[in-house]
Amino acid sequence: MNPSCNLFIIGPTGAGKTSIGRRLAAHYGLPFVDLDQEIEQHCGVDVSTVFEIEGEAGFRQRESALLDECSQRPGVLLATGAGVVLAEHNRAHLRERGYVVWLQTTIEQQLERLERDHRRPLLAVPNRHERLQAMAQIREPIYRELADLTVPGEHGSVAAASERCIALIDHHWQRPSHASSQQTA
> Between 178 and 59, where is the model more confident?
59
CA distance linking residue 138 with residue 118, whole number of Å: 22
Residue 103 dihedral angles phi and psi, to the nearest 5°: -90, 110
pLDDT band at 1, cuts 50/70/90?
low
In this predicted structure, the answer to whether residue 182 has a pLDDT above a threshold of 50 is no
Q: Where are the domains of the chain?
A: 7-178
Q: Could you read off the pLDDT of 10-26 as tens digits, one per residue?
A: 999 989 999 999 999 99
Q: Please name the amino acid found at residue 180.
A: S
170 contact partners, CB below 8 Å, separation of at least 6: none
Distances (CA, A) of 157 to 130, 137, 161, 179: 26, 26, 6, 30
Q: Could you read off the pLDDT of 60-98 as tens digits, one per residue?
A: 999 999 999 999 999 999 999 999 999 999 999 999 999
Q: At what angle do helices 128-146 and 88-97 cross, to 10 degrees?
A: 50
Beta strand pairing status for 32-34 and 77-79? parallel
CA distance linking residue 50 with residue 84, whole number of Å: 15
- With beta carbons less than 8 A apart as the criterion, state whether 20 and 152 touch: no
In this predicted structure, the answer to whether residue 184 has a pLDDT above a threshold of 80 is no
In this predicted structure, the answer to whether residue 180 has a pLDDT above a threshold of 70 is no
What's the pLDDT score for residue 125? 80
Q: Please name the amino acid found at residue 53.
A: I
CA distance linking residue 142 with residue 87, whole number of Å: 10
What's the pLDDT score for residue 155? 66
The CATH classification number of 7-178 equals: 3.40.50.300
- With beta carbons less than 8 A apart as the criterion, state whether 52 and 121 touch: yes
Residue 126 dihedral angles phi and psi, to the nearest 5°: -65, -35
